[in-house]
Amino acid sequence: MKREYRELWVILGLLALVLPVLFFSSLTFASFNGNLPDRPPTATPVASPVPGEEPTATPIPQVVQENVHVAGGFIHLQVDGGKTNMWTEVQWLAGDGNWYTVDGWRGNVLPDNSVVWYVGTDQIGATAWFRWNLFDYEGGQLLATSDAFKLPGATMQTITVPLAVR
């Protein structure tokens, strides 16, 4: 075999070894570089293929981690009653006396009739009042509004707000 072909095969062989390593390491870096969503996605009920059956939500796997330190806190809505696919929005009371919807804290009620949102460390101990609005579906009729509440005052604290639907 000629010398230039042998050198070409050596270079191609090295590339075949190095390129997969670079490719997979960039995937690993991209998936763990902190670009995580603000909250986990919620399960969305799917239409039943059989008329008359109640739609069911996709099960959400529960992940249990021990010795995990959370820098922020949580707000937790627990709904008593209602139906599937209800929608919630959290609002805050501004100094002008009006309630404004918090863009990041909107979504469907989970199958266990709860919603949990993360509260970042910059919001821990905030002095503003908040409330939950519960709708029959996104953009639908308002079913109930919770009492006003404050955000957690300390890290790893959860504020639970019960809300009954008649």
pLDDT in tens, 87-96: 999 999 999 9
DSSP assigned state of 136: S
- pTM (two decimals): 0.59
What count of other Cβ atoms lies within 10 Å of the Cβ of residue 12?
Answer: 10
- 73-164: CATH topology is Immunoglobulin-like (2.60.40)
Contact 152, 69 (CB under 8 A): no
pLDDT in tens, 37-83: 455 555 444 444 444 454 444 455 555 556 556 689 999 999 999 88
DSSP assigned state of 56: B
